[in-house]
Structure 1
Amino acid sequence: MFDDFLLRAALAGVGVTLATGPLGAFVVWRRMAYFGDATAHAAILGVALSLGFGVSVYVGTLAVALAMAVTVAGLAGRGHAMDTTLGVLAHSALAVGLVAASFLTGVRVDLSAWLFGDILAVSRTDLAVVWGGAVLVLALLIWRWQALLTTTLNEDLAVAAGHDPRRERLVLVLALALVVAVAIKIVGSLLIAALLIVPAATARQFARTPEEMALGATIAGALSVLAGLAASLQFDTPAGPSIVTGASVLFGGALLIGRLKR
């Protein structure tokens, strides 16, 4: 029989994958990996500001992640050199967040929990927030699925079909900020991008349609969470990194099987 905290951890991790699976597929298709990193790293600044002003960490993280995502999306639309811009913003936000956290007085901050996640400390309230956010992201993606697919394929084609590429980009930005806010306690700001990218890359080896890839990424993510938690319990390793390690092992196996089939 699972202990209560393990059951909450498993439910929280699976809940996050409901959002990271389909969203990760778009991150892979649109080559937004570094974009995801920048948004996730900014979440540490949101944590520091939340603790400093005494507001909910989820609210502060969402606000800062959304501000970073909108900033990056705006710069992308103006033709800036995105690799350099994303690198500057991602590392600056992370560094400023860590420095700001060091100035907090009267607040005990375990930065490693926010950097690498602390899924085993998930409470029932956290569980409700995670599932609520994940369902909201999933509903948003389902609602805009066809428009997002068309825009990802070809923006001119999307315009001809009556879709606004800027609006669809904003949908992805909002979804990404929500995922960062709900996932930071699960795998931490440094590993969120891995949970978005690795399961989607695993599913890509077998998927024949976009929908199959989104579903496969969700399943791969859920398996990674369960395998990572089992490994963490068995070998006393950090849960967040163990989850990402499980995802990497799945990706390696999928890559090997794909090559053998070809």
Structure 2
Amino acid sequence: MFELILPGWLAGVILSLTTGPLGSFIVWRRMSSFGDTLSHSSLLGIAISIAFNIHSFYALFFLMILIAIILACLEELLSMSLETILSIVSHSSLSLGIVLISLMSSKKKVDVTNYLFGDLLSVTKLDLLIISISSMIIVSILLFRWNSILSATINEELAKIDGINIFYARLTIMLMTAFTIAIAIKFVGALLITSLLIIPPATAQHFSGSPEKMVFIAIIVSIISVTGGILLSIFYNTPASPSIVLCSSFLCLLSNIKKYL
């Protein structure tokens, strides 16, 4: 049993190292809708991968990156709010994905359940290698650009005075989030990946006095959630990814109770 759950647990722990810091920036910048937009758009990526018979990771990766760049540019060029742009792109891409899948379902059997809800216990050694390398790249970029991204997040006016390009700082967060969602959707699911990005940082903010401490606590909360969710899945035969989200939500509830007490 231990050999069965170890790859999935390791994948969840490694993903926590990226979702912790990225989720913190998403919470600070109030960009939770951005994660939802990318996760909803993933259905379009799955439809494209099925239609052209290519690996889902490549289709999701390039589509997520493309949408992140488009959203960053639209925010700069259009006068409407980011929330409005995200809502339009999210629902349009989700609808297009559903339409394409329904058209293809008449010719071939299409099962998108695993992509919607994920299956962390199906992780292979190759998957683990891809997740590890991708996470190292994401964490390295975040560490390299940490000061500029953090400055642009805390106070854009002061960041501009310091010569920081706000657009590139924002684009970095969007691209890294898109990259993370692309590698995690197969295992966590399109409907649940945003929860893994948002809930642990939302829990951590009640215990942190600095950005770095919040990121560290968010990573710890994610790891505890992954461990608890997988154990719950094994002992009670529940789906792994929803169990992880429920554990994370329970920890968030406890943190809020502690805050008010």
Q: TM-score normalised to the size of structure 1?
A: 0.94
Q: How does 1:78-117 map to 2 (within 5 A)?
A: 78=77, 79-104=79-104, 108-117=109-118
Q: CA deviation at 1:132?
A: 1.4
Distance in 2 between the 1:158 and 1:5 partners? 48
Task: Output the amino acid matched with 1:72.
Answer: L
Q: CA deviation at 1:95?
A: 2.2
Distance in 1 between the 2:94 and 2:119 partners? 18
Q: How many pairs are equivalent? A: 259
Task: Output the amino acid matched with 2:233.
Answer: S
Distance in 2 between the 1:107 and 1:22 partners? 40
Q: Is the 8 A contact 1:115 1:190 kept in 2?
A: yes
Q: Is the 8 A contact 2:75 2:85 kept in 1?
A: no
Task: Name the counterpart of 1:175.
Answer: 176
Percent of matched pairs sharing the same residue: 38
**Structure 1: which 5+ runs fail to align?**
none
Q: CA deviation at 1:123?
A: 1.3
Task: Name the counterpart of 1:210.
Answer: 211
Task: Output the amino acid matched with 2:232.
Answer: A
Matched, 1:8 2:7: yes
Q: Is the 8 A contact 1:38 1:68 kept in 2?
A: no
Q: How does 1:141-220 map to 2 (within 5 A)?
A: 141-220=142-221
Task: Name the counterpart of 1:18.
Answer: 17
Deviations 1:46-105 (A, max 9, x none): 122122222221111011111111222222223323323222211221222122223336
Q: How does 1:213-252 map to 2 (within 5 A)?
A: 213-252=214-253
Distance in 2 between the 1:108 and 1:185 partners? 18
Q: Is the 8 A contact 1:221 1:247 kept in 2?
A: yes
Distance in 2 between the 1:109 and 1:222 partners? 33
Task: Output the amino acid matched with 1:90.
Answer: S
Task: Output the amino acid matched with 2:243.
Answer: S
Give the root-mean-square deviation of aligned CA atoms: 1.5
Distance in 2 between the 1:209 and 1:159 partners? 22
Deviations 1:129-179 (A, max 9, x none): 111111111111111100011000111211211210011111111101111
Distance in 1 between the 2:90 and 2:4 partners? 33
Mean alpha-carbon deviation: is it higher for 156-165 or for 199-208? 156-165
Deviations 1:196-245 (A, max 9, x none): 10000011000111000011111111111111111111111111111111
Q: TM-score normalised to the size of structure 2?
A: 0.94
**Structure 2: which 5+ runs fail to align?**
none
Task: Output the amino acid matched with 2:142.
Answer: L
Distance in 2 between the 1:107 and 1:50 partners? 13
